[in-house]
Chain A
Amino acid sequence: MDRYVCTVCGYVYDPAVGDPDSGVKPGTKFEDIPDDWECPICGASKSDFEKES
Chain B
Amino acid sequence: MQPVEIAKGIYDVGVNDWNIRDFHGYSIPLGTSYNSFLVVDEKVALIDTVKKEFADQLIDNISRIIDPKKIDVVISNHTEMDHSGGLARVMHRVGESKPLYCSKMGLKNLGMHFRQKWNYHGVASGETLSLGQKTLTFLETRMLHWPDSMFTYLQEDGILFSSDAFGQHYAGLEKFDDMLDMDIMPHAKKYFANILLLYSHLIVKLLEQVTEMNLDIRMICPDHGVLWRKDPGRIIDAYKTWSLQEPVRKAVVVYDTMWHSTEQMADAIAAGLKDAGIAVRPMHLRKWHRSDIMTEVLDAGAVIVGSPTMNNGLFPTVSDFLTYMKGLKPKNKIGAAFGSYGWSGEAVKMITQELEAMKFNIMDAGIRIQYVPDAPGLETCEALGKQIGMALAG
Q: Which residues of A contact B (CB under 8 A)?
A: 8-9, 41-44
CB–CB B199/A43 < 8 A: no
List which B96-123 residues lie within 8 A (CB) of chain A. Answer: 105
A-B contact number at CB 8 A: 16
Closest to A6 in B: B143
Contact residue among B105, B199, B202 (Cβ-Cβ distance under 8 Å from A41): B105
- Main SS of the interface on chain A? loop
CA distance A43 to B140 in the complex (A): 10
- Number of B positions contacting A (CB below 8 A): 8
CA distance A27 to B200 in the complex (A): 33
Contacting residues, chain B, for A44 (C-beta < 8 A): 143
CB–CB A8/B199 < 8 A: yes
CB–CB B202/A8 < 8 A: yes
Closest to B140 in A: A43
Contacting residues, chain B, for A43 (C-beta < 8 A): 140, 142-143, 147
CA distance A12 to B202 in the complex (A): 19
What is the 8 Å Cβ interface bit string for chain B, positions 129-173, against chain A (1 contact, 0 not)? Answer: 000000000001011000100000000000000000000000000
Contacting residues, chain A, for B142 (C-beta < 8 A): 42-43
CA distance A28 to B319 in the complex (A): 40
CA distance A10 to B107 in the complex (A): 20
New contact pairs (14) apart from A8-B201, A42-B142, CB-CB < 8 Å? A8-B143, A8-B199, A8-B202, A9-B143, A9-B147, A41-B105, A41-B147, A42-B143, A42-B147, A43-B140, A43-B142, A43-B143, A43-B147, A44-B143
